[in-house]
Structure 1
Amino acid sequence: MYKNLLLAAAGVMFVSAGGASAADVVKVASFVSPKSIGVTKVIKPWMEKVRADIGNSAQLKGFWGGSLGKSPVKQYELVKNGVADVAWILPGYTAGQFPEMQIVELPFLVDNANEAGLVVQRMHDAGHQTGLGAVKLIGAWATSPNLLFINKPVKSVADLKNLKIRNAGSVGGYWLGEMGAIPQTMSAPKMTVALNRGTIDGGQQGWTGMRTFKAMGLVTHAMDLPLGAIPFFLGMNKKKWDGLPKNVQAAFLKHGGETIARNGGAAYTDAVTQILAKNDQAKKLTIVKPSGPEFDKLVANSKKTVHSWWIKKTKNGQEVYDKAVKFLADIRKNG
């Protein structure tokens, strides 16, 4: 009895001295490797800066490589259900749930990862938060724009007709359909499997995704078109968020938001530069880059069809679109 009282007293002393209790452990998860860009250049730096600010007010613990759930499609649910407290979430894998974030998936809208991440973050901060529900957004970022990677010779978009091409989200699928291709909806890991089996002819993907999911050696051509970025966000279970000390919440947001957007933008831009310069498989690909009147016509037609389609199908679509374009203009002018 006396021993138990001593142990209980010791526990009270630990908590009162500022130590983190079990309830203050924050599980931060990713379905991809701890070596991935998003983990090494975005999530881990965020964690380190937060730790430096909060001391023992809470413990941040990483769970990488899908240790809390491997499916990229289920990351939002992991956070919502409290399996993970914080996770790297891909809006494109939950079709229709995050319509405002989908804006950066439009072809020929954003030119780079920094623009895309900042647009998503600023749209959120302006109140466009559809779909978040029981999850709080800590910070958003994005990839560099997608390209098309094909396993057979192509010289122009006309050669895409009847090809089976994996689409990165519903927007990409609509654009591919407009080009006469046959969109194939699947995750990036499954795209690699399908390319290896020869059941698809190519995929809409970024350079970093092709490297991460080991698909570079399965294609021969890359069509260099800015076909929309893939938005990401670091999402946290709201109930867990509400239970955190105020200083911890403040640190999460201080190092989240646009800081995460800019860190992610710089990381993905640099990664593409490194891949093009040093990756042997990337160097072997034939790069096709439409230009001149062909490119101008393609851009105009894509905006007339895909952008208009997105505006019509999205609640308050024109308002959302106009605001995103305004944010984009400001980012290009002022950074």
Structure 2
Amino acid sequence: MRKALFALLGLAAGIGSAIHPVAAQDKTINLKVSLWVPPAHPLVPATQAWAADIEKASGGTIKLSVFPSEQLGKAFDHYDMARDGIADITYVNPGYQPGRFPIIAAGQLPFVFADGKKGTQALNEWYQKYAKTEMKDTKLCFAFIHDPGSLHGKKKIMVPADLSGVKVRPAQSTFGEMVKLFGGTNVQASAPESRDAIERGVADEIAFPWGSIFLFGIDKVVKYHIDTPLYSTVFTYNINLAKYNAMSDGQKKIIDDHCTPEWASKVTDPWVDFEANGRVKMKALEGHEVYKLSPEQLGEWKKGIEPLRASWAAGVKKAGGDAEAIDAELKAALKKFDAGL
């Protein structure tokens, strides 16, 4: 009888091991996730839900702590923070470091994306293979965009010439090049620093997505808003290679399973909805003018940015890439997901 009981207990223990192989065999990995947006930003709860799902799938052997509001470092430094292990997973704006990531900068040219959700799918599919070289000292989890943003400010900007002499906080480096092209001056400020820059008169205009105008309090210091999908900013979630490589095969698979197009959407769609709703909110707000550009005015903008496309192609060529082929693949992805203008 006792032998039978011990055999039964042994069988039960064996079944338990089979059910929880990760928990039984893997060492616990603690990951610090760094975001530079405030806790109220939609990316924060969405990333916390993503982190909780990773922990659950790993049987508790991968634990993630999310740090918003630049707690671990400045927004401009987040790629290097992932590379150097200051944080293990970081939220990166590649445009904060002009010229460093020339390929993904294609997504930052004006008038590329018409839709945030479809655009994220197109960008993520297109960029995955290029990240293996362009961001080789980190592991790309996924790439995404926010809902297309526009120009907001103290002055009514209608045509490119209206930017002459105007101080603009650009959303990313390509937008900054456009500002210079049209005779304006760039003011560098991260998103959390932007309201102060406008309030003190350091900047007159800002390129920003609609909902975040309210989130960062910028609606209090601007009045005019162009109602067109002028630009998008590309973002990535990057993982420290040493920390990823230290994981077991099972843990790596769990991370990989959470770096898919589906998870890119789960994490970023709430932000896209938030930004899109901001445009609706702004239109209903007293003291603000939200205005469309005429077809002729829009034509001026599109014609005026052609040098930016040439500059992007030159940057890719300098880095050893085939700009024509890369651009063709991006356009194909945009068409596949119906994401372009």
**TM-score range, shorter-chain basis?**
0.7 to 0.9
SS state at 1:65 partner: coil
Name 1:132's counterpart in structure 2: 135
User: 1:292 Cα deviation (Å)?
Assistant: 1.9
* Residue 332 of structure 1, aligned match among 332, 338, 341: 338
The TM-score, its normalising length taken from structure 2, stands at 0.83
Q: C-alpha deviations, 1:177-219, integer Å up to 9, x for none?
A: 2333223233223322210101221111111332332212110
Structure 2 distance, partners of 1:100, 1:85, is 24
User: 1:84 Cα deviation (Å)?
Assistant: 1.1
Structure 2 distance, partners of 1:190, 1:148, is 17
| Aligned AA (2:187) | Q
Residues 282 and 242 of structure 1, relative CA distance in 2, 3 Å threshold? farther
Name 1:116's counterpart in structure 2: 119
Residues 201 and 192 of structure 1, relative CA distance in 2, 3 Å threshold? same
Q: C-alpha deviations, 1:20-67, integer Å up to 9, x for none?
A: 746x112222222232122223x2232122223211232222223223
Name 1:242's counterpart in structure 2: 245
Structure 2 distance, partners of 1:154, 1:95, is 25
Name 2:309's counterpart in structure 1: 307
Greater Rg by CA: 2
CA contact (8 A) 1:30 1:65 kept: yes
SS state at 1:32 partner: coil
| Aligned AA (2:42) | I
User: 1:249 Cα deviation (Å)?
Assistant: 1.7
Give aligned pairs, total.
Answer: 315
Which deviates more, 28-37 or 233-242?
28-37
Name 1:27's counterpart in structure 2: 32
Structure 1 distance, partners of 2:22, 2:228, is 57
- Where structure 2 has 5 or more consecutive residues not aligned to the other structure, the ranges are 1-20
Name 2:18's counterpart in structure 1: none
Structure 2 distance, partners of 1:251, 1:211, is 36
Structure 2 distance, partners of 1:228, 1:273, is 14
What is the root-mean-square deviation in Å for CA atoms of aligned residues?
Answer: 2.5
CA contact (8 A) 1:153 1:221 kept: yes
Structure 2 distance, partners of 1:106, 1:220, is 25
Name 1:91's counterpart in structure 2: 94
* Residue 198 of structure 1, aligned match among 198, 201, 204: 201
Q: Superposed, which structure 2 residues align to 1:51-90 within 5 Å?
A: 51-69=55-73, 71-90=74-93
CA contact (8 A) 2:109 2:175 kept: yes
Which deviates more, 279-288 or 324-333?
279-288
* Residue 51 of structure 2, aligned match among 47, 65, 68: 47
Structure 1 distance, partners of 2:222, 2:247, is 47
User: 1:138 Cα deviation (Å)?
Assistant: 1.1
Structure 1 distance, partners of 2:314, 2:195, is 33
Name 1:291's counterpart in structure 2: 294
Which deviates more, 222-231 or 72-81?
222-231
| Aligned AA (1:51) | E
- Where structure 1 has 5 or more consecutive residues not aligned to the other structure, the ranges are 1-14
CA contact (8 A) 1:141 1:264 kept: no
Structure 2 distance, partners of 1:37, 1:282, is 22
| Aligned AA (1:298) | W
- Identity level (%): 21
Residues 280 and 271 of structure 1, relative CA distance in 2, 3 Å threshold? same
CA contact (8 A) 2:212 2:275 kept: no
User: 1:282 Cα deviation (Å)?
Assistant: 5.3
The TM-score, its normalising length taken from structure 1, stands at 0.85
Residues 237 and 221 of structure 1, relative CA distance in 2, 3 Å threshold? same
